[in-house]
Structure 1
Amino acid sequence: MRIPRQTVVAAGTVLAAALLGSSSMPKATSDVAVSVAPERLNVVGLPCFPGNLTLTMTNTGSEDRYADLTLEPTGPLQLSRTLFSSWLPAVDPDQPVSAPVEVRVPRDTAPGSYQIGVEVDQTRVTVPVTVDPLPPKGAGDNLALGEQATASSTHGNFTLCGGVDGDNDPEHWDTLTGWNDGTRAAFPDTYDVALAAPATINRVELYTLDSVKYPAHLNGLRDWDVQARVAGTWQTVAQVRGNTLGHVTTTFAPVQADAVRILCLDGNDHTYSRIVELEVYGS
C-alpha cells in the first residue's frame, strides 16, 4: 500500500516539532551522587608527600548500574588514577563506594592554583588544588622528609613512602604510616631515601616498631647498618646490633652523600623489617 505524501510530511513535521520542543524540556539528572573529600587540596613538590583525595559515588536511583567517574587535572597535577569505575547497587539505605587518589606535582612546580574536574554522567565537581612552596631544608632540618623512598620489597598493607612521611608515632604504624618489607623471614632487606641534593650528613634517627601492642623488643628492628651513597657507592657509616629500643640515634663522621640506606639484617621476631620513620640530618 502506498502512503500519501502529505501523510509523510505531516509525520515529519510532528517529529521535528517534538525534537525542537525537547530542547526546552529539563535535562535528565544523574542518579549517581558524587562527593570528593577534602573539597580543597594543598600539595607540595615532594615525591613522598602526595595530596590525598577520596572519591565517592552513591547510586540514588532505583536500579543497579555501572558508573564511570573521570578525573581531568590541569597544569602540572599528576594523578594516581584518572578513572574510577564501579558497580553501584540500588539499595536502601544507599551504599557509597569510595576510592583513593594521590595527587603529586614535580619538584620544580611554581606555587599557584590549579584544579581537578570530576565528572559522572555529565555531572561535574571541581576540586581546587593549591601548590604550596617547597618546605626549606637547611641546617637542622630532616633531609629525608618527603623525599623519594625505595625498598627491596614492601608488604601489601603498607606504602613505600610510609617511612619518610613525617609521622614517627609507632601507634600509627599498622594503620596510617610506616614501612614493612614483603619477604617473611628473609634477610637482608633495604630501605633507601634519595636526598634532594648531595648534602653533608652525620646523623640518622631511626624509629622502629614500638607500640603497646607491638613492643620493640619483640617486633622492632634488631640489627642494621646505616649506609650512605658517596660518589655512587654505598658506604657503611654506622652499625646497630641487638637493638631493643623503638628510637635509635646514630652519629658518624660527616660524609657528602646523595642517599641513605638502612640495610636491615634482622628483626627481633626474625620475620620482618619494620621502620616507622627514617630521618637524616646534616652537620
Structure 2
Amino acid sequence: MRYLSLFLVILVNCTGCLTQLTQNLAPGGEFVNYASAENGATAVASGSSGDRNASTVINGITDSKGWDKGEGWAMTFNREHMRSGMMRYESRMTRKEQRGGAWVEVRLPEPKRVNRMVVYTVDSNKYPASKFGIYEGNFQVWDKDNWKTIAKVKNGKVEYLTTTAGRTEAKGRILLRFQPILTNMARVMVFRSNDRKVIDKTYSSTIEENTARIVEIEITGYDTFDPNTQASKSQEEDELDNLLKQ
C-alpha cells in the first residue's frame, strides 16, 4: 500500500509537469515567445538613437534585412574604460553600470516560468555581428527582487554563468538557456560594441564611443518540442545541447 501511494504521488507530479510543459507550446508545437507584442509584452530602453525605438525588439522580426529602414533598436553612448592598473574603489557592478552603457528591457504582462532567451543582434553582409555586434555586455532576468545575470559577453565571447556550456562566439543569434525562473522581465545590457572608437584620453582612462544594436529578443519556457516538429531544432541548439551535457 505504501508503494502504491508513492506511485500515485509521482504520477500526479509528472502529470502536472507535463501540463506545464505543454502550456509553453503553441498548437503547432513551436515555442511560445512570451517576449512578443502579440502576447502582451512591452519594451523599454535606456534611450535610443534616432527613431530606433525599443518596441522593435518585440515585433517578431529577427533578421537584419530592414536595418537601414529603421528595424531594430540602437543607442550610441560613451563609456569610460580604465587603463590597466588604474582602478577606483567601486564594486565591479557599479563600475560596469556607471561608466557608460545602454540597455533594452522586455516586460511580460504577467510572470512566466522561463528557461530560454534568444537575442538577435544586427548581423548581415553589410552589418556583420563581428564588426557591429556586442563586445561586452550582460544578459539578465528578473529573479524575485534582483536582476540575475545568466550570461555575459566578454571580449566578444558569450560566457554562460548558469550552465557548464563554457564560451562561444557572440554571433548575430545568441541562444541562452538556464534553470527555470519565474519572471516578468528580461534585459540586455551593452557596455562595449565591436565598432567602438576612442574619442578622448586621460592619464587613467580612455573614453570610447559605442553603439548597442539589438534586432529582437525572445523569451520562452521549457525546452520542449512536439515530436512532429523536432526537426525544427536548429544546429546551434544541438551544439549547445552537447555543451550542456559535458
The two structures have a TM-score, normalised by structure 1, of: 0.49
Partner AA of 2:173 in structure 1: H
Instruction: Tell me, yes or no, if the aligned pair for 1:165 and 1:177 is still in contact at 8 Å.
Output: no
Segments of structure 1 that go 5 or more residues without pairing to the other structure are 1-136
Instruction: Tell me, yes or no, if the aligned pair for 1:209 and 1:221 is still in contact at 8 Å.
Output: no
Instruction: Tell me, yes or no, if the aligned pair for 2:118 and 2:174 is still in contact at 8 Å.
Output: yes
Segments of structure 2 that go 5 or more residues without pairing to the other structure are 1-22, 26-30, 81-99, 158-169, 197-209, 223-246
1:195 aligns with 2:108: yes
Alpha-carbon distance, 1:184 to partner: 4.9
Which structure has more relative contact order (CA 8 Å, sep 6+)? It is: 2
Alpha-carbon distance, 1:222 to partner: 2.3
Greater helix percent: which structure? Answer: 2
Partner AA of 2:172 in structure 1: G
* Alignment correspondent of 1:143: 34
SS in structure 2 of the partner of residue 181 of structure 1: strand
Instruction: Tell me, yes or no, if the aligned pair for 2:77 and 2:101 is still in contact at 8 Å.
Output: no
1:162 aligns with 2:56: yes
* Alignment correspondent of 1:131: none
| Residue 276 (structure 1) aligned to one of 211, 215, 218 | 215
How big is each residue's C-alpha offset from its partner over 1:55-106, in whole Å with a ceiling of 9 and x where there is no partner? xxxxxxxxxxxxxxxxxxxxxxxxxxxxxxxxxxxxxxxxxxxxxxxxxxxx
What is the aligned residue count?
A: 147
Partner AA of 2:127 in structure 1: Y
Instruction: Tell me, yes or no, if the aligned pair for 2:78 and 2:101 is still in contact at 8 Å.
Output: no
Which structure: larger Rg? 1
Instruction: Tell me, yes or no, if the aligned pair for 1:145 and 1:165 is still in contact at 8 Å.
Output: yes
SS in structure 2 of the partner of residue 174 of structure 1: helix
Partner AA of 2:45 in structure 1: A
Greater strand percent: which structure? Answer: 1
The two structures have a TM-score, normalised by structure 2, of: 0.56
Identity of aligned residues (%): 30
CA RMSD of aligned residues (A): 1.8
* Alignment correspondent of 2:152: 239
Alpha-carbon distance, 1:185 to partner: 5.2
* Alignment correspondent of 1:204: 117
Alpha-carbon distance, 1:176 to partner: 4.0
- Provide runs of 4+ in structure 1 moved above 4 Å: none
Q: Distance in 2 between matches of 1:268 and 1:153?
A: 19
How big is each residue's C-alpha offset from its partner over 1:255-282, in whole Å with a ceiling of 9 and x where there is no partner? 1111001111211112201001111111
